[in-house]
A = this chain, B = another copy of it.
Amino acid sequence: MNPVRKDQNLCICEKCEFKNVIFQFLKEEDIFDLCDNKEERNFRKGEIINLEGDRIIDFKYLKKGLVKIYRRSANGDEQVITITRPFEFVSNMSIFSEERYRYSVSALEDSTVCVVSLDFMKALFSKNGALTLGLLSKVSQVSDHIISQSLEIRNKNLVGRVAYVLLFFAKDIYSSRVFDLPVSRKEVADFISMSTANVIRTLSDFKRDGIINVDGKTIEITDMSKLEMIARRG
C-alpha cells in the first residue's frame, strides 16, 4: 500500500455507495489508486454533462441527481431516450465501443458525477476480469432496460404512453404517488414520440376523469389502478 495513503480517511471512495454496484471486486490498493485519479464534478439543473459527438475521454457515473439522456434526430428535433437516477451509468453504453458520444446527457436536478480517466479505467478493467464482468452485467442491464422501455412505448397508443410515462415517474424515479415533473410537457412528448399538444390534452383528460391531479409541474396519481389499466391496454 502506498505509504502516503496511510491515513485512510483521505479516501472517500472506500465509503462511496457506488462501490457496491460494480466495484465490490476491487482490491484495497486499487481503491486508493482510484481515489487519487477520480474527480467529483457538480452540475446544476439544466447543465450538459455529455454532449453528443464529443470525444469520450472519461469514465463517468452519476453519484447523485437525475439526468436525461437524449439525442438530436435527423430532422433536428430532440428525442429523449431515457431519464435515470444513480447508478445507471452516465457515459453508459458507447463508452467502450465508440470514440464519441452517441447521446447527450443533461442534468434535470443538481447532480454529482464522478469522473475518472477512461485510460485509467481501461487499465483497471484489463487486469481484473471479475470487475469487468460486473461492469458488463451492469451495462447490459441498463441497455436492456432502455430497449424494453422503447419497445413498450412503441406498442402503446397515445393514452397508453402518457399513462406509462406517469407510472414511470411515480414508480421508477420518485417512488411516490405525488411528484414534480422534472421536465417540460414538450420533453415528455419527445420521450414518448408524441406531439406536445396531445400530451397536454391527455393529461387534461386524465384530470377530468379523476385519475390524476395536475397543478403546473406537480402531479398526483389519484387512481393508480385505473392508470395501470390504461397503460396495459393502450
Contacts and interface: CB of A to CB of B under 8 A. Distances in A.
A127 interface: yes
Contacts of A20: none
Contacts of A125: 129, 132-133, 136
A94 interface: yes
Contacts of A85: none
A166 interface: no
Sort chain A's interface into a size bin.
35 or more
- Copy tally for this chain in the complex stands at 2
A100 to B, nearest CB: 12
Contact of A135 (B93, B136, B138): B136
A71 interface: yes
A97 B150 contact: no
Contact of A143 (B71, B127, B131, B140): B140
A154 to B, nearest CB: 5
Contacts of A126: 129-130, 133
A94 to B, nearest CB: 6
A147 B140 CA distance: 12
Contacts of A97: 137-138, 140-141, 144
Contacts of A128: 129
Contacts of A95: 140
Contacts of A132: 125, 129, 132-133, 136
Given A125-B132, A132-B129, A135-B136, A93 B147 contact: yes
Contact of A96 (B77, B129, B133): B133
Contact of A127 (B73, B129, B136): B129
Interface string A65-76: 000000101110
A5 interface: no
Contacts of A129: 125-129, 131-132
Nearest to A121: B133
Interface of A: 71, 73-75, 77, 79, 81, 93-98, 102, 122, 125-133, 135-141, 143-144, 146-148, 150-151, 153-155, 193, 232-233
